[in-house]
Structure 1
């Protein structure tokens, strides 16, 4: 298997959580990493900015370019992707990691919040992929990887938070389509989702707090799986809706205890959409 040395990886939502972990995992293989996120200045509650992650990427062995990006703005997306490609001489991989979450049903969800979920989740996959496409066509190892789940139409996943589910599934459906549409360009398109809850600020503040955090894994498991996917060729892996643990098992990993967020005997919580 190859490494990401001198490959250029554009990651949205890369200032913290899973995006930051992927940035550092790519850096350890010598990649050029674009840290694209809104976090230009420190947040009062959340650690990390695009600039602190850029420093971490350089310390880990990669080249870094921090760029302020709001994935709701398609003009800014194109501007930033072109800026990154000009800086590093192209783009080899796009990681659609930016996400918005609100686990609420239709009755109590503001339409403006649904607009945000749709824009940051589904619409951004289309807009970012479209903007990156001219550069990805020129790469010999082009990838688009989106953080979205396999399609599971069991009504229980719609009953309490159908609006959020619909935007995450849309990310996957757009990716399934792009895998077929872009195959002729040699661009691999896949999705990646965690088998268990990943303990991030989104979980802490939006989905369950510290108690749930103690039953999750660190973002590093997603990062290691993402890097593995980027190191596969389109002939080996495209059009797939992948689970982090399954990817790593294929690589021969059998012990996942090191990915636990806390060392305890509590059962790990499965992530959404997995039965």
Structure 2
């Protein structure tokens, strides 16, 4: 197992789901983890807060700093980055995980709902990336990982949920642009997207609970993120990575371990992926 001792990750939306899984995977390798999310008090339906994940990170062998953060607030983001860097002596990795989902077609979606999706997904990722750059540029292995899909311009992906698609593709365009802008700073910028749906609260409550049985656990995304962070030569920068394909390249052959329901129904391919 690769050691991430003295490596500091700043993970948005880390109080549950994929963000939490990445936090714990890094903690198992001795990392410092900043758990940045809005959830600082228990929710009646949704498990996890920044404080509960911080406890899990420390139990797993990492160091934790819990920060209540709304990625829409640029002043708060700048303050959070400064707090994290002061606490741990720098920031090496930003994971743009915070995201909002709404698959309504444009005809049915109020503009204020699009504003919310855009402000968290595209704008939030931009704000966090901009605030992290001064710290990442001081790292020997600076990374920005953004959880967004490869850009697929096939009409069957463009038509059904235009507002959400725009916001997620915006995150990807941001990352591809940053890969070029930050090349001289030695910061690797990649996107990461799951081959299948992932069993998270977004699936259970925002989409369809029946999809949980057709999904993989967040652990596959965490393992893929660790594979990215173990790549120190910048060779992945500018790439749109898919968890299963990346892990296959790294020698993983057992993907049954990631099923949310062992022996369950066929897995559901995630959005924007045709193969």
TM-score (norm 2): 0.98
Tell me the residue number matched to 2:72: 72
Runs of 5+ in structure 1 lacking a partner? none
Tell me the residue number matched to 1:120: 120
- Partner Cα separation in structure 2 for residue 158 and residue 122 of structure 1: 17
- Partner Cα separation in structure 1 for residue 138 and residue 219 of structure 2: 30
Kindly indicate whether residue 156 of structure 2 is the aligned counterpart of residue 187 of structure 1.
no
Tell me the residue number matched to 2:201: 201
- Partner Cα separation in structure 2 for residue 173 and residue 257 of structure 1: 32
CA contact (8 A) 1:148 1:169 kept: yes
Could you give the per-residue CA deviations for residues 47-66 of structure 1, whole angstroms, max 9, x where no partner exists?
A: 00000000000000000000
Residue aligned with 1:65, SS: strand
CA contact (8 A) 2:187 2:234 kept: no
Tell me the residue number matched to 1:53: 53
Kindly indicate whether residue 266 of structure 2 is the aligned counterpart of residue 267 of structure 1.
yes
Give the superposed CA RMSD.
0.9
Question: How far does residue 121 in structure 1 lie from its aligned partner after superposition?
Answer: 0.3
In the TM superposition, what are the counterparts of 1:109-148 in structure 2 within 5 Å? 109-148=109-148
Tell me the residue number matched to 2:86: 86
CA contact (8 A) 1:11 1:34 kept: yes
- Partner Cα separation in structure 2 for residue 234 and residue 73 of structure 1: 33
In the TM superposition, what are the counterparts of 1:1-275 in structure 2 within 5 Å? 2-209=2-209, 211-275=210-274
- Partner Cα separation in structure 2 for residue 263 and residue 179 of structure 1: 38
Detail structure 1 runs of 4+ shifted over 4 Å in the superposition. Answer: none
CA contact (8 A) 1:187 1:234 kept: no
- Partner Cα separation in structure 2 for residue 63 and residue 72 of structure 1: 26
Could you give the per-residue CA deviations for residues 10-39 of structure 1, whole angstroms, max 9, x where no partner exists?
A: 000000000000000000010000000000
Question: How far does residue 265 in structure 1 lie from its aligned partner after superposition?
Answer: 4.0
Residue aligned with 1:107, SS: helix
CA contact (8 A) 1:144 1:189 kept: yes
Runs of 5+ in structure 2 lacking a partner? none
Question: How far does residue 2 in structure 1 lie from its aligned partner after superposition?
Answer: 4.7
- Partner Cα separation in structure 2 for residue 119 and residue 218 of structure 1: 27
CA contact (8 A) 2:213 2:264 kept: no
- Partner Cα separation in structure 2 for residue 60 and residue 138 of structure 1: 27
Could you give the per-residue CA deviations for residues 44-86 of structure 1, whole angstroms, max 9, x where no partner exists?
A: 1100000000000000000000000000100000000100000
Structure 1 window deviating more from structure 2 (216-225 vs 264-273): it is 264-273
